Amino acid sequence: MTIFSKLIGQIAAKLFKKKPMLITPEQLRKVATTLSPARAEEMADLLNKQGAKYGITDKDVFHEFAANVIQESGEFAHKRENMSYSAKRMMQVWPSRFPTLASAQPYAHNPEKLSNLVYGGRMGNTKPGDGWAFRGGGFIGLTGREVYTKYAKYGGYQSVEACAEDVRNSDAVALDSAYWFFCVLKDLENKAQADDFIGIVKSINGGTIGLATRQHYYNLCKKYIV
């Protein structure tokens, strides 16, 4: 082997070096136990590929991301916010908007009408129907025209509406939007490296909604994703 060919081989080895694997399908099923083997393989592949895209190589950072995304998505079961509520549940979720059953009843199990009411006029939603068009989507729940517009620009979409549809219908885009939310929009990698789990949860949903479940997944991630 000549010196030149050896050098070429070394360069090629670096270029095509296998990216570090963040998670295996078997590990994912130990954390998200409802996943079938086929679904776990599919999602583990996406988690690894897109994690590399966003520069996540530290498993300690990945633990925080995975725990929250698995909780937010119901173990990758849904990519769109369920806005079908009973009147009683609406009173619990939005007590100031629905102080009585009578005020909530017209919106009960009417997702579009409810979305336009509770999301209309905020989060960048200014047009009629924006609340429904930009309801929660993706594996981490992008919500509102403003945040969808930012992600659409990042992803090179010409239409924010088309972007929102992809986020709510494509596994790949739903997960990519979650990585973008975590790494780019909220810039949570430093918090993850510092193990500021509570701070990450608050950054994601504005409070500590679902904290016990998130903590459960986080503990499983630390145990099995090593």
Alpha-carbon gap, residue 47 to 91, rounded angstroms: 37
Tell whether 140 and 159 lie within a shared domain: yes
Share of the chain above pLDDT 90, in %: 89
Q: Are residues 218 and 65 in contact, defined by beta-carbon separation less than 8 angstroms?
A: no
pLDDT in tens, 180-214: 999 999 999 999 999 999 999 999 988 898 999 99
Please report whether residue 182 resides in a domain: yes
- pTM of the predicted structure, to 2 decimals: 0.88
pLDDT in tens, 100-127: 999 999 999 999 999 999 999 999 999 9
Alpha-carbon gap, residue 66 to 60, rounded angstroms: 10
- Structural domain including 152 reads 87-167
Query: Given 152, 167, 182, which residue is the final one in a domain?
Result: 167
**Residue 19's pLDDT is what?**
56
- Tokens 């972007």 correspond to what residue? 163
Which pair of structure tokens corresponds to residue 183?
């790494």
Tell whether 100 and 49 lie within a shared domain: no
What total of structural domains would you count in the chain?
A: 2
Decide: helix, strand or coil at residue 122: coil
Alpha-carbon gap, residue 162 to 221, rounded angstroms: 34
Please report whether residue 119 resides in a domain: yes
pLDDT in tens, 8-61: 444 433 443 455 699 999 999 999 999 999 999 999 999 999 999 999 999 999
Query: Given 119, 149, 167, which residue is the final one in a domain?
Result: 167
Tell whether 91 and 163 lie within a shared domain: yes
Query: Given 167, 194, 213, which residue is the final one in a domain?
Result: 167
Which pair of structure tokens corresponds to residue 174?
């739903």
Please report whether residue 120 resides in a domain: yes
Tell whether 107 and 122 lie within a shared domain: yes
91 CB contacts (<8 Å, ≥6 apart)?
Answer: 98, 99, 100, 101, 104
CA 157 → CA 117, 131, 139, 168, 170, distances in Å? 27, 20, 19, 15, 15
